Amino acid sequence: MKELKIGFLQQHNVSDASVNIQRLSEGIADLATRGAQLIILQELHNSLYFCQVEDVNNFDLAEPIPGPSTDLYGELARQFGVVIVTSLFEKRAPGLYHNTAVVIEKDGTIAGKYRKMHIPDDPAYYEKFYFTPGDLGFRPIETSIGKLGVLVCWDQWYPEAARLMALQGAEILIYPTAIGYESSDTPDEQERQREAWTTVMRGHAVANGLPVIAVNRVGHEPDPSGQTNGIQFWGSSFVAGPQGELLYRASNDKEERIVVSIDMHHSEQVRRWWPFLRDRRIDSYTDITRRFIDE
């Protein structure tokens, strides 16, 4: 058994970024002292989810990579000897910004980064206003604890993204996330959405024979424009094994700091029992690159 202890922070954010960062730092220290080797943070964890509105002043939240946040989380990674998956608003150049996950190695260096590929544009999720689609492809990041297939939030709905990570040797799929309820939806509809979110990623685990971790924020964040009632982020961060089995699922309305152990060798056994990669008909999939097949 190759045991990997994974820690995650499901947190409610406030408008003061320094408070968020301080609480994240405390959480990282706590998880590390409890044995976590890999610590995963939620999407855009330093600030409120600013994409509820289209406001050019929000670009002031962006920063270069390397930059202040990678320095800060790098020092924490070095201090505690852990690998950290961060999620940052990257300023690549004037007028060019990305939603970028950065993996920090346990010596404090940057192991690699992933720029979010699928960018949503829905009421209260106006991400296309802020983020240029990623251009680094779906490439796992090599670390001292294994190859991490890091994707971000909206990427979670796309089996192609998970598959391409798996085909390049990812040993685990990781999704920093910021997703919640639309206040006008009925409780039944809200629950359908939350369960669909969990189910699709558990399907990625099954289809690829890999563990999956999704880390979501929690709590209510108001809409600065007042046009909606804001977002109630549904938490429910989870760890699933390579057969889609739920090893842990967090609360939908409370903050949590959790350490979960995963048997990383179990993926090998699952892929022997269910050899989906062996039986793929790669000679018949060329149409997958088309937007839609009309004829």
Active centre residues (catalytic): 43, 116, 153
Do 239 and 213 touch, CB atoms closer than 8 A? Answer: yes
- Residue 241 DSSP label: -
> Cα(183)–Cα(74) distance, rounded to whole angstroms?
37
DSSP string, 109-166: SEEEEEE-----EETTEEGGGT-PPP-S-S--EEETTEEEEE--GGGGG-HHHHHHHH
Amino acid symbol at 100: T
> Cα(194)–Cα(98) distance, rounded to whole angstroms?
26
Burial of residue 108 (number of CB atoms within 10 Å: 0-12, 13-18, 19+) = middle
Q: What contacts 24+ positions apart, CB below 8 Å, involve 118-125?
A: 118/154, 118/155, 118/157, 118/158, 118/161, 119/154, 120/153, 120/154, 123/182, 123/228, 124/51, 124/52, 124/182, 124/223, 124/228, 124/230, 124/231, 125/51, 125/52
Structure tokens of 95? 């007028």
> Cα(270)–Cα(125) distance, rounded to whole angstroms?
37
- SS3 of residue 182 by DSSP: strand
Sign (positive/negative) of CA torsion 138, 110, 238, 9? Answer: negative
> Cα(127)–Cα(153) distance, rounded to whole angstroms?
11
